[in-house]
Amino acid sequence: MIIADRKPINDIKETLSPYKKILLVGCGTCVSVCMTGGEKEVGILASELRMVSELDKKGWEITETTIQRQCDREYIEPLREQFEQADIVMSMACGVGIQYMAEIFPKQVVLPAINTTFYGTTVKEGEWGERCAGCGDCVLHLTLGICPVARCSKGLYNGPCGGTDLGKCEVSKEIDCAWYLIYNRMKDLGKLDMIGTFIPPRSWKSSLHGGPRKRVREDLKK
């Protein structure tokens, strides 16, 4: 799940200031689950912007809608008429959705209302934690399901560093040391011999540092 936070209202106001007809588009998948960009959140932002427009005499015309996913063309295409009528489209999806809508409608300005933060999971009600950095060279088979890239503050492939203290990271006592978690998991599973396995540096060809990635399934292409 992609986790995101809404931008401050003052930042959004500044972004929208040159425009009149505003289309707010929410996403019903990841950002809906983390209570940032779903139908409810679109409604809240729309209400806030209408109040701003009234108080500051902006004259904004605000339309709101939410689709299932902003990363799939089939859900975006039905918005074509609404896009054409808007001066600006303000997306409440992750960075992928924002970019894809801009790609499909190249003549329309599409801007973000939220900040994409990380790939995560629901730790408990109202709390989400990062679990994956999408590095493209997964080593979870060597660390028994705990990611050293996303969960170690230094992204160490071979740890721990000298800054761990009682299972906590020197960066913050609120952060568990990833390698402390890895060690204990290996110990609990009777796999402690794996702790000495050297993990080589990431491949530049498969990692996110090698430029935009693409996956193709020839059997699914039309």
Q: Are 12 and 76 contained in the same domain?
A: yes
Q: Does any domain span residue 178?
A: yes
Residue 69 has pLDDT above 90, yes or no: yes
Do 143 and 45 reside in the same domain of the chain? no
First to last CA, the chain: 28
User: What is the model's pLDDT at position 187?
Assistant: 95
**Same structural domain, 111 and 137:** no
Query: Of 59, 93, 118, which closes a domain?
Result: 118
How, if at all, do strands 110-112 and 88-91 pair?
parallel
Kindly state whether residues 182 and 113 are assigned to the same domain. Answer: no
Grade residue 204 by pLDDT with cuts at 50, 70 and 90. low
Q: Which residue has the higher pLDDT, 217 or 10?
A: 10
Are residue 6 and residue 96 in the same domain, yes or no? yes
How far, in Å, CA of 112 to CA of 102, rounded? Answer: 11
Task: Determine, yes or no, domain membership for 214.
Answer: no
Instruction: Tell me, yes or no, whether 107 and 84 share the same domain.
Output: yes
Same domain, 150 and 173: yes
- pLDDT for 212 equals 65
Confidence of residue 201 (pLDDT cuts 50, 70, 90): confident
What is the domain count for the chain?
2
For the ranges 82-91, 133-142, 199-208, the lowest mean pLDDT is seen at 199-208
Between 180 and 135, residue with greater pLDDT: 180
Tell me what percent of the residues of the chain surpass a pLDDT of 70: 94
The answer to whether residue 209 sits within a structural domain is: no
Residues 63-76: what's their mean pLDDT?
95
Same domain for 8 and 111, yes or no, is yes
Residue 113 and residue 51 share a domain: yes
Decide which of 88, 118, 148 is a domain's last residue: 118
For residue 102, the 8-state DSSP code is H
CATH code of residue 37: 3.40.50.2300
Contact by Cβ (8 Å): 37, 31: yes
With respect to residue 220, please indicate whether it lies within any of the assigned structural domains: no
Residues 114, 137 within the same domain? no
Residue 127 domain flag? no
Domain encompassing residue 139:
133-202
127-132 and 114-124 strand pairing: antiparallel
Residue 87 has a pLDDT of 96
49 and 82 share one domain: yes
So what's the pLDDT on residue 208? Answer: 54
Task: Classify residue 215: in a domain, yes or no.
Answer: no
Asked if the structure places residue 36 within a domain, the reply is yes
Does the pLDDT of residue 110 top 90, yes or no?
yes
Do 96 and 185 lie in one domain? The reply is no
48 located within any domain? yes
Task: Look at 65-79, 151-165, 206-220 and tell me which has the smallest mean pLDDT.
Answer: 206-220
- Last residue in a domain, options 93, 118, 143: 118
Residue 136's pLDDT band, with cuts at 50, 70 and 90, is confident
57 Rama class: left (phi>0) / alpha (psi -120 to 50) / beta: left
Query: Over the chain, what is the mean pLDDT?
Result: 91
Mean pLDDT for 27-54 is: 95
